A and B are shown apart, each in its own frame.
Chain A
Amino acid sequence: MIEVKDITKSFGEQSVLKGISATFKEGKCNLVIGKSGSGKTVLLKTMVGLIEPNTGDVLYDGRSFTKMNFKERKMIRREIGMLFQGGALFDSLTVEENIRFPLDMFTTMTSEEKLQQVNSCLSRVNMVNTNKKFPGELSGGMKKRVGIARAIVLNPKYLFCDEPNSGLDPKTSLVIDALIKEITIEYQMTTVINTHDMNSVMGIGDHVVFLHEGLKYWEGNRDEIMKITDGELFDFIFASDFLKDLRRNAKVS
Chain B
Amino acid sequence: MTFLEEIGGYLIMIRHAFSKPEKAAMYSKETFRQMADIGVGSLPIIAIISTFIGAVTAVQFSYQLKSIGLVPMWWMGSIVRKGLILELAPTITALLLAGKVGSNIATELGSMRISEQIDAYEIMGVNTRSYLVGPKILAAMVVVPMLIVIAVFLGIIGGWAGGVLGNFFTTAEYIRGLQDDMKNWDVIVMFIKCLAFAFIIASVPCYKGYTVSGGALEIGKASTQAVVYSSIVLIIVNFFIAFFLLDSGG
State which of A75-83, A206-214, A215-223 sits at the interface with chain B: A75-83
User: Which residues of chain A from 101 to 136 have any CB-CB distance to chain B below 8 Å in the complex?
Assistant: 101-102, 104-106
CB contacts (< 8 Å) of A90 on chain B: these are: 117, 120
User: Which residues of chain A from 49 to 100 have any CB-CB distance to chain B below 8 Å in the complex?
Assistant: 49-50, 73-75, 77-78, 80-82, 84-86, 88-91
Q: Are A84 and B120 in contact (CB under 8 A)?
A: yes
CB contacts (< 8 Å) of A50 on chain B: these are: 119, 122-123
Contact with A along B115-132 (1 / 0, CB 8 A): 111011011111100000
Q: Are B116 and A85 in contact (CB under 8 A)?
A: yes
Instruction: Decide yes or no whether B22 CB sits under 8 A from chain A.
Output: yes
Given contacts A85-B116, A86-B115, A91-B117, contact A77 B22 (CB under 8 A): no
Say which size band chain A's interface belongs to. 20 to 34
Say which size band chain B's interface belongs to. 10 to 19
In the assembly, what is the distance between CA of A45 and CA of B23, in Å? 26
CB contacts (< 8 Å) of A105 on chain B: these are: 22-23, 26, 124-126
Taking a contact as CB atoms closer than 8 A, the residue among A78, A82, A88, A104 that contacts B23 in the complex is A104
CB contacts (< 8 Å) of A192 on chain B: these are: none
Taking a contact as CB atoms closer than 8 A, the residue among B23, B26, B112, B124 that contacts A77 in the complex is B124
CB contacts (< 8 Å) of B127 on chain A: these are: 74
The total number of A-B Cβ pairs within 8 Å is: 55
Q: Are A75 and B125 in contact (CB under 8 A)?
A: yes
Q: Are A102 and B115 in contact (CB under 8 A)?
A: no
Given contacts A105-B22, A105-B23, A105-B26, contact A88 B124 (CB under 8 A): no
Instruction: Decide yes or no whether A193 CB sits under 8 A from chain B.
Output: no
Instruction: Decide yes or no whether A29 CB sits under 8 A from chain B.
Output: no
CB contacts (< 8 Å) of B125 on chain A: these are: 73-75, 77-78, 105-106
Instruction: Decide yes or no whether A204 CB sits under 8 A from chain B.
Output: no
In the assembly, what is the distance between CA of A85 and CA of B126, in Å? 20
CB contacts (< 8 Å) of A86 on chain B: these are: 115-116
In the assembly, what is the distance between CA of A104 and CA of B117, in Å? 17
Closest to B124 in A: A102
Closest to B120 in A: A88
- In this complex, the member of A45, A82, A85 whose beta carbon has the largest number of chain B beta carbons within 10 angstroms is A82
CB contacts (< 8 Å) of B22 on chain A: these are: 105-106
Closest to B37 in A: A92
Shortest Cβ distance from residue A118 to the other chain B in the assembled complex, whole angstroms: 15
In the assembly, what is the distance between CA of A82 and CA of B49, in Å? 47
Q: Are B122 and A88 in contact (CB under 8 A)?
A: no
Closest to B122 in A: A50
CB contacts (< 8 Å) of B122 on chain A: these are: 49-50, 77
CB contacts (< 8 Å) of B119 on chain A: these are: 45, 50, 82, 84, 88
CB contacts (< 8 Å) of B123 on chain A: these are: 48, 50, 77, 80-82
Q: Are A82 and B120 in contact (CB under 8 A)?
A: yes
Shortest Cβ distance from residue A16 to the other chain B in the assembled complex, whole angstroms: 15
Shortest Cβ distance from residue A216 to the other chain B in the assembled complex, whole angstroms: 24
CB contacts (< 8 Å) of A75 on chain B: these are: 125
Taking a contact as CB atoms closer than 8 A, the residue among A49, A80, A88 that contacts B116 in the complex is A88
Contact with A along B228-240 (1 / 0, CB 8 A): 0000000000000
In the assembly, what is the distance between CA of A147 and CA of B111, in Å? 17
Given A86-B115, A90-B117, 4 more contacts at CB 8 Å? Answer: A82-B123, A88-B117, A106-B22, A150-B120
Q: List 20 A-B contacts (CB under 8 A).
A: A49-B122, A50-B119, A50-B123, A75-B125, A77-B122, A77-B125, A78-B125, A82-B119, A85-B116, A86-B116, A88-B115, A88-B117, A90-B117, A91-B111, A91-B112, A101-B124, A102-B124, A104-B26, A106-B23, A106-B124
Chain A interface residues (CB < 8 Å from chain B): 45, 48-50, 73-75, 77-78, 80-82, 84-86, 88-91, 101-102, 104-106, 150
Q: Which 3 A-B pairs have the closest CB atoms?
A: A77-B125, A88-B120, A88-B116
